[in-house]
Chains A and B, each alone.
Chain A
Amino acid sequence: MELMQLTAVALGKKLKAREVSVREAVEAAYKQMDSVEEMLHSFVTTDKDAALKRADQVQSLMMEGKLTGPLAGVPVAVKDNICTKGFPTTCSSKILEGFMPPYTAEAVNRLLQAGAVVIGKTNMDEFAMGSTTETSAYGITRNPWNTAHVPGGSSGGSCTAVAAEECSFALGSDTGGSIRQPSSFCGVTGLKPTYGTVSRYGLIAYGSSLDQIGPIAKDVTDCATILDVIAAHDSKDSTSVKREHYDFTSALMDDVEGLRIGIPRDYFIDGLDHEVKRAVLFVAEELRKKGAVVEEFDLSLVEYAIPAYYIIASAEASSNLARFDGVKYGYRAKEYEGLHDMYKKTRSEGFGQEVKRRILLGSFVLSSGYYDAYYIKALKTKALIKQAFDKAFGHYDILLAPAAPTTAPEIGRSLSDPMQMYLGDIYTISANLAGIPGISVPCGTDSKGLPIGVQLLGDCFQEKTIIRAAYAFEQTRGYQRCPLCEKGVSRVEETI
């Protein structure tokens, strides 16, 4: 039996029942990496020895009855923008090459306390800027459904690691869709919680007011279970919210009777691939059959989300990334004359093109004389978008939409036209601007055999509602493994 084929919760049960040891689970993850990593490149850093050592520690704690949770002993992959003491954390950037954080992010700490075993750090778009995992300084990641295609991004490595069964689950981060879009492209389930639900302490900031850590897993049950563990109020993060309940798994019910589902008409227009459209509307039909009330409506302001997002995220990024200057840690240019030359060369050599583009954009919109015209206007737009969602949630419990306008594009097609790439974020970024939760759930494949994801959006703090709907839909179809895993690595190689 293949351990990595199991969901995190199923593996957790076997570990708890001592049918398998933690070491065996971790070794299974590394065995799978050995066979697929060369092809996919999900990971930036792995450390088998450290993971096995940790596995044995967890095992003894489980034996002593000190670790009893559902994730005890389960191998997890962590996106490389989340700090892990003892593992280099690079944000897939040259500027943080070899950087060892002096502390561990709160979300990871909570996983560690629950007994999860970190097996490696996953590849991503540099500083989470990109939608394809092609901007990584450490090489691209390939989609396990078809290695000629991108996995999406920026949490591409986390999504491929889950899809290709190199880990039981993963952590990603979502600033404008970076969990939901690659989950959709890789046929896995990814959830972006309400802003403030998971501590950002230790998440290397891209757009501070939009960033949120979330789970990526094989199914909705895993996502809810992981969220139960990582969601908590954290006094180290001022934007962390004290929520009334953290029992997301209690929403795992196959019951959508009377649930009001809104379909934003403005999401199903030009630019949306017809196969994606059909698959997503099929989900609405399935939920309707289960008793949900489905209606189309006009969300409005959709076209303003992308410019507002790129202004706000880039502005914050231009400041957040200022600390990478060669003074304290990470990369420093080899040759320079004086302080300013050191700054200039370090940052010119250390950052990739997309990161520089956004730093420049962000610095421009914050500069005096342009601040009101761009940044303030973007903030006002953000507030209006939030109002539009508030209005929608006055009528509907959840909104149903695609996670992306197309399935995964081919490698090398996106970066040449950044505007086109930015437009691909149209369905995901509004949730970040409004701070609301969203989940991407696999809902089929297109004619090329690439996965399609449906996105369910809920009002702030209504994760349970989207979890319930996603779970109910999931019951109609079950988990579909990627061909790489289903047929075995060698078979896939033949077909490429």
Chain B
Amino acid sequence: MKKQYETVIGLEVHVELATKTKIFCACSTAFGGAPNTHTCPVCTGMPGSLPVLNKQVVEYAMAVGLATNCKINQYCKFDRKNYFYPDNPQNYQISQLYLPICHDGGIEIETTAGKKWIGIHEIHMEEDAGKLVHDEWEDCSLVDYNRSGVPLIEIVSEPDMRSADEVMAYLDKLRLIIQYLGASDCKLQEGSMRADVNLSVREVGAKEFGTRTEMKNLNSFKAIARAIEGEKARQIELIEEGKRVVQETRRWDDNKEYSYAMRSKEDAKDYRYFPEPDLVPVVISDEWIARIKQNQPELRDEKRLRYQREYQIPEYDINLLTSSKKLADIFEHTIALCHKPKEVSNWLMVETMRLLKEAELEPEDITFSPVHLSKLIGLVDSGSINRTVAKEVFEHIFRKDIDPERYVAEKGLAVVKDEGIIYHTIEEVLKANAQSVKDYYAGKTKAMGFLVGQTMKALKGKADPGMVNTILREMLEKSCQTAE
């Protein structure tokens, strides 16, 4: 019988914190500045410059730690990780090795297989590096230090995951917790959340772990899932062939769906860690921890319960709405304005999700304001516009955050309730479609639908279809009698 294998996975997740300024200087963390404009002597490694810790970084790290059931090291320190690379202006990274801020926590995940606890070994604070840009024209490399010193936390899990499903669930849960805390926007594509996967395989029932590899360069959930499957297969194949897995760092190429060895344990770098002498230890008081706990916002699980209680909307809706902090925020803000939970939920779940998908965006990218969504719901509710028009208006709200009331007025999209206009339009339609009228009288009921459609089209969709139906039927019957 073929051997059964089990995959053992641990993750190292880097999250860029949402502070306004960098971890060790007052430079902006904003994206998109011209190269080297968000820099100063500290984050460009000028001789004689010194780091000063940003308190907000500690608070975010603590908040994430507390929300993931970690213990807080009330005496924590920074260490230097030494390695030469031009994106790292000092040629050392200020990180935490010996006394990280959070340790020994975990979160519960849920997959189709049920609930499971995933342990978190530690969370530590560190600084991001700059970015190298290769100038093909000049054939040289340039470095942009705008990202240098942007605060990161690294969340190191225990090797508790056994499948890509569990990894996805863990990452998703982590992402949501951090987003809810406002500690990061956690966008994998933009790099504000990055994951390295440590993976080994062993025969089912084995007590010892197999030799693990670490995979880097995973920038989407799908890439992570594919990398796990690919690496698992690669390792099992090696074992089956009687070869051994080498402990090494591998780079995942998502296009080729294969990982390549970067460096093995033998030539692993010696980072010569030692305590950072330019920073004093961070001493965290009980009061400080209590304050962070107290200011902790409502997290997803609590929100779900409250939605059930307060809004009486289906569980499906709740799950979707709370799957993104941004979506939940819009939901709550819109309800506060229009008090129609199910309506708001529908707009978010159906139209919003459709438009996001079309534009390949995430809920975090939503730019429209709850005020405009609530006005739109008001317009539909009062019968001022019909649903077809409302969908069209919503697209404009979604894209440009327009004011629907003004838009409807300006474009003349309000429902035509004037019977005279509808009557007149139908007359024109009947004249132009004599064949269909004949068909109708001949008993082809389909013709009725066609005529309604033509009328609606002539009225640019603004008419109330019910009214059109009624009037059309009346008119057809009247003209039938006349004909007889």
**8 Å CB contact of A103 from B41, B52, B82:** B41
Whether B47 contacts A322 by the Cβ 8 Å rule is: no
Note all chain B residues with C-beta closer than 8 A to A201. 48-50
B91 at interface by CB-CB < 8 Å: yes
The residues in B between 51 and 90 inclusive whose CB is less than 8 angstroms from any CB of A are: 51-53, 80, 82, 84, 86, 89-90
Contact: B272 with A99, CB < 8 Å?
no
Q: How large is the interface on B (under 10, 10 to 19, 20 to 34, 35 or more residues)?
A: 20 to 34
B84 touches A322 (CB 8 A): yes
Instruction: Determine the distance from Cα of A323 to Cα of B48 in the docked complex, in whole angstroms.
Output: 11
Chain A residue nearest to B90 in the complex (CB)? A323
Given contacts A325-B84, A366-B82, contact A204 B48 (CB under 8 A): yes
Determine the distance from Cα of A439 to Cα of B308 in the docked complex, in whole angstroms.
73
For residue A239, which residues in chain B have a CB less than 8 angstroms away from its CB?
A: 50, 277-280
- Give the Cβ gap from A213 to chain B, nearest Cβ, in Å: 11
User: Is there an interface contact between A327 and B86, defined as CB atoms closer than 8 Å?
Assistant: yes
Is there contact, CB below 8 Å, between B89 and A319? no
CA distance A209 to B274 in the complex (A): 12
User: Does B283 sit at the interface, judged by CB under 8 A?
Assistant: no
**Residue pair A323, B89 in contact (C-beta under 8 Å):** yes
Q: Give complex CA distance A35, B463 in Å.
A: 101
A36 beta carbon closer than 8 Å to chain B: no
A397 within 8 A of B: no
A236 adjacent to B91 (CB under 8 Å):
no
Contacts of B90 in A (CB 8 A): 322-323
For residue A353, CB closer than 8 A to chain B, the reply is no
Q: Is the CB of A238 within 8 A of B51?
A: yes
B365 CB to closest chain A CB (Å) equals 36
Q: Are B46 and A105 in contact (CB under 8 A)?
A: no
* B50 adjacent to A316 (CB under 8 Å): no
User: Which residues of chain A have C-beta atoms less than 8 A from B50's C-beta?
Assistant: 200-201, 236-239
Chain B residues whose C-beta falls within 8 Å of the C-beta of A200 in the assembled complex: 48, 50
Interchain CA distance A83-B41 in the complex, whole Å: 11
Whether B272 lies near A205 (C-beta < 8 A) is no
Against B, the Cβ 8 Å flags (1 = close, 0 = not) of A345-370 are: 00000000000000000010011100
- For B45, the chain A residues whose CB sits under 8 A away are 323, 328
User: With a CB–CB cut-off of 8 A, which chain B residues contact A343?
Assistant: 84
Of A204, A315, A319, A327, which one neighbours B47 at CB under 8 angstroms?
A204
Residues in A neighbouring B338, C-beta threshold 8 A: none
Residues in A whose Cβ lies below 8 Å from that of B48? 81-83, 89, 101, 105, 200-205
Q: How far is the CB of A44 from chain B (nearest CB, A)?
A: 15
- B440 interface hit (Cβ, 8 Å): no
- Interface status of B92 (Cβ within 8 A of chain A): yes
Bound: A209/B90 CA distance, A: 17
The answer for the CA separation of A209 and B47 in the assembled complex, in Å, is 16
Q: Are A368 and B86 in contact (CB under 8 A)?
A: no
Instruction: Indicate whether A96 reaches chain B with its CB closer than 8 angstroms.
Output: yes
Given contacts A328-B45, A328-B89, A363 and B272 within 8 Å (CB-CB): yes
Over the window 122-160 of chain B, the binary record of Cβ atoms lying under 8 Å from chain A Cβ atoms (1 yes, 0 no) is 000000000000000000000100000000000000000
Asked if B279 and A328 make an inter-chain contact with CB atoms under 8 angstroms apart, the answer reads no
**CB of B276, distance to nearest CB on chain A (Å):** 9
Chain B binding site: helix, strand, loop or mixed by DSSP? loop
Residues of A111-166 contacting chain B, CB below 8 A:
none
Give the contacts of A43-86 with B (CB-CB under 8 A).
Answer: 81-83
A residues less than 8 Å from B52 (CB atoms): 235-238
Q: Mark contacts of B34-47 with chain A using CB atoms, 8 A cut-off: 1 yes-contact digit, 0 otherwise.
A: 00000001001111
Cβ–Cβ < 8 Å partners of B44 in chain A = 328
B280 contacts which chain A residues (CB < 8 A)? Answer: 238-239
Q: Smallest CB–CB gap between A482 and chain B, Å?
A: 31
Is A375's beta carbon under 8 Å from chain B?
yes
Q: Is A371 an interface residue (CB 8 A)?
A: yes
8 Å CB contact of A367 from B53, B272, B279: B272
Output the residue of B51, B84, B86, B277 with the most chain A CB within 10 A. Answer: B277
State in angstroms the CA–CA spacing of A91 and B51 once bound together. 21
Which residues in window 308-343 of A have CB below 8 A to B?
A: 315-316, 318-319, 322-325, 327-329, 339, 343
Contact A103 B278 (CB under 8 A): no
User: For the complex, what is the distance from the CA of A16 to the CA of B277, rounded to whole Å?
Assistant: 42
A366 vs B97: C-alpha distance in the bound complex, in angstroms? 14
Chain A nearest CB: distance from B188 CB in Å?
29
Confirm or deny: B270 has a beta carbon within 8 angstroms of a beta carbon on chain A: yes
| B86 contact from A105, A202, A207, A339, Cβ within 8 A | A339
Residues of B within 8 A of A328 (CB): 44-45, 89
Assess whether A319 is in contact with B41, with CB atoms less than 8 Å apart. no
**A101 with B84: CB separation less than 8 A:** no
Q: Across the interface, which residues of A come within 8 angstroms of B89, CB to CB?
A: 323, 327-328
Q: How far is the CB of B442 from chain A (nearest CB, A)?
A: 84
Taking CB atoms, residues of chain A closer than 8 Å to B273 are 366, 371
Q: Is the CB of A368 within 8 A of B91?
A: no
> Which of chain B's residues 267-312 have a Cβ closer than 8 Å to chain A?
270, 272-274, 277-280
Q: Known: A238-B50, A328-B44. Is A209-B272 also a contact (CB below 8 A)? A: no
Given the interface pairs A319-B272, A322-B82, A343-B84, the reply to whether A102 lies near B92 with Cβ below 8 Å is no
Q: Nearest CB to that of B141 among chain A residues?
A: A339
Which among A83, A99, A238, A322 is the interface contact of B92 at CB below 8 angstroms?
A: A322
Q: Which of A203, A208, A318, A323 has the largest count of B CB atoms less than 10 A from its CB?
A: A323
Contact, CB under 8 Å: A208 / B277: yes
Contact A238 B47, CB 8 Å, known A325-B91, A343-B84: no
- B45 to chain A: closest residue by CB: A323
B272 cross-chain contacts in A, Cβ below 8 A: 318-319, 363, 366-368, 371
- When distances are taken between beta carbons in the complex, the residues of chain B under 8 Å from A101 are 41, 46-48
Residue contact B49 to A209, C-beta cutoff 8 Å: no
Chain B residue at minimal CB-CB distance from A312? B277
The 10 closest A-B pairs by CB, nearest first: A322-B91, A208-B277, A366-B272, A209-B277, A204-B47, A202-B48, A83-B48, A204-B48, A323-B45, A323-B90
29 cross-chain CB contacts under 8 A:
A82-B48, A89-B47, A91-B47, A200-B50, A201-B49, A202-B49, A204-B48, A208-B277, A235-B52, A236-B52, A237-B50, A237-B52, A238-B52, A238-B53, A238-B279, A239-B278, A319-B92, A319-B272, A322-B82, A322-B90, A322-B91, A323-B47, A324-B47, A325-B86, A327-B86, A339-B86, A366-B273, A366-B274, A367-B272
Chain A residues within 8 Å of B, Cβ to Cβ? 81-83, 89, 91, 96, 99, 101-103, 105, 200-205, 207-209, 235-239, 315-316, 318-319, 322-325, 327-329, 339, 343, 363, 366-368, 371, 375
- Chain B positions near chain A (C-beta within 8 angstroms): 41, 44-53, 80, 82, 84, 86, 89-92, 143, 270, 272-274, 277-280
Given contacts A103-B46, A239-B277, A318-B272, 12 further A-B contacts (CB under 8 A): A83-B47, A91-B47, A99-B47, A200-B50, A207-B277, A237-B50, A238-B50, A323-B91, A325-B91, A329-B46, A343-B84, A366-B272
